[in-house]
Amino acid sequence: MDAHGGCPHAANARLLAEGSAAEVVLPDEVPGMAVLGHEALKEFLAHPEVSKSPGHFAALREGRIPEGWSLMNFAVLPGMLTSDGDEHRRLRSLVSKAFTARRVEGLRPGIEALTARLLDRLDAAAEAGGGIADLRAHFALPLPLSVICELFGVDEAAHDRLHELSDLAVSTTVTPEQAIATTRDMAATLAGIVAVRRESPGDDLASALIAAREDGEGLSEAELIGTLMLFVVAGHETTLNLITNAVRALCAHREQLELIRSGGASWADAVEETLRWDSPVSYFPFRYPIRDLTIDGTVIPRGTPVLAGYSAAGRDPAAHGPDADRFDVRRASPGRHLSLGHGAHYCLGAPLARMEATIALERLFTRFPDLDLAVPEAELPRHASFVGNSVQVLPVRPGPGA
């Protein structure tokens, strides 16, 4: 795996032509595998003999993973990310009590108001920048970051620090020293938030998680910090990439944008097709077979760390047809992609991500109907990670507001 990331689609196509699963080399020469094909990945994600527990990671159990490994948090972070069975159900049930559909829907008016303010800031940034502004920095980032921090009851002063730490947490190019420091600093920052919320509970997710109980048992301190870390990273990094990728796709396919404006498709369709066509997560770590498994003719040995190849599965011709690499909002359907997961670990925040992205796209292109990229797509610097899939900046010309 290229630790420096880059656009994954050409490499994905080459690998898919050879099979639905492939051997890969992870950072620090750790051997692993990736499942790439749509049907193979769907089977693997829901397989009863595939675990998320680090106890099944053979190389980690045997002491062959170096300290400060750039992917260590994905393997050992306490909470839902690394649990199975009854333990995962317990944790998910506790979190679900705090992250209800009613709480998510209650965020809609605030998201709409925040979106309007951020569009004003984007307009001002473009005016100050000679007609050009970085949409990722001024719009796609602060929207989901502000929402997730509001859910936690985090002061705005801490937003930038949490984003900085989140970026480092998903990077596959950090040094061992950076990886260790990132984990330490993120845990300390979140522990500070928990301490404040224990002292002064509010109507926020952190307070609700602290108060959540099931049969008298709540989240342990490690589980609580791990859960908040998962929400911070997954709750804004993926939505940030989703909004960025959707804007890039619509700017590059103006006929699709006009189709939506004419009523032939919806903004929600644009979100679903972006999730399929340019998944915000490319390869997500980790799952481990608890015995040797054969997936679509390929043997995945017991204890192997396996990446879920969401960006590859989204363009698998076997599932999406010979034009799988074509962006077309008319084929959008939540059931046509796996980019938000599948099975017991399906993304708990999926409804929030969809809501944020749909509101963002509709309000953005309504306010700035002529918005377009300010530089050619090929010149946009890519994420320095094979986990996240997007670009680092998105210079746009908003044009006159409607």
Where does the pLDDT of residue 158 fall: very low under 50, low under 70, confident under 90, or very high at 90 and above? Answer: confident
- Averaged confidence pLDDT in the chain: 91
Determine which of 95-104, 175-184, 260-269, 297-306 has the lowest per-residue pLDDT on average: 95-104
DSSP 373-402: ESS-GGGSPBPS-SSB-SBS--EEE--S--
* Helices vs strands, H then E, count in the chain: 18, 10
> What SS3 class is residue 286?
strand
User: pLDDT tens digit string along 251-295?
Assistant: 999 999 999 999 999 999 999 999 999 999 999 999 999 999 999
> What SS3 class is residue 21?
strand
Where does the pLDDT of residue 104 fall: very low under 50, low under 70, confident under 90, or very high at 90 and above? Answer: confident
User: pLDDT tens digit string along 21-48?
Assistant: 999 999 999 999 999 999 999 999 999 9
Q: Which strand (E) or helix (H) includes residue 101?
A: helix 101-105
In the predicted model, is pLDDT for residue 215 greater than 60? no
In the predicted model, is pLDDT for residue 240 greater than 80? yes
In the predicted model, is pLDDT for residue 323 greater than 90? yes
**Cα angle, residue 59 at apex, residues 44 and 310 outer, rounded to 5°:** 30
Where does the pLDDT of residue 157 fall: very low under 50, low under 70, confident under 90, or very high at 90 and above? Answer: confident
Beta strands in 261-343 (DSSP E): 283-289, 293-295, 298-300, 306-309
Those residues with Cβ within 8 angstroms of residue 345's Cβ, 6 or more apart along the chain or in another chain: 45, 52, 80, 88
Tokens of 393: 């900046």
Task: Tell me the backbone φ, ψ of residue 177, rounded to 5 degrees.
Answer: -65, -40
- pLDDT at residue number 213: 59
- pLDDT at residue number 387: 94
C-alpha to C-alpha distance for 204 and 141, rounded to whole angstroms: 21
C-alpha to C-alpha distance for 286 and 233, rounded to whole angstroms: 16
In the predicted model, is pLDDT for residue 333 greater than 80? no
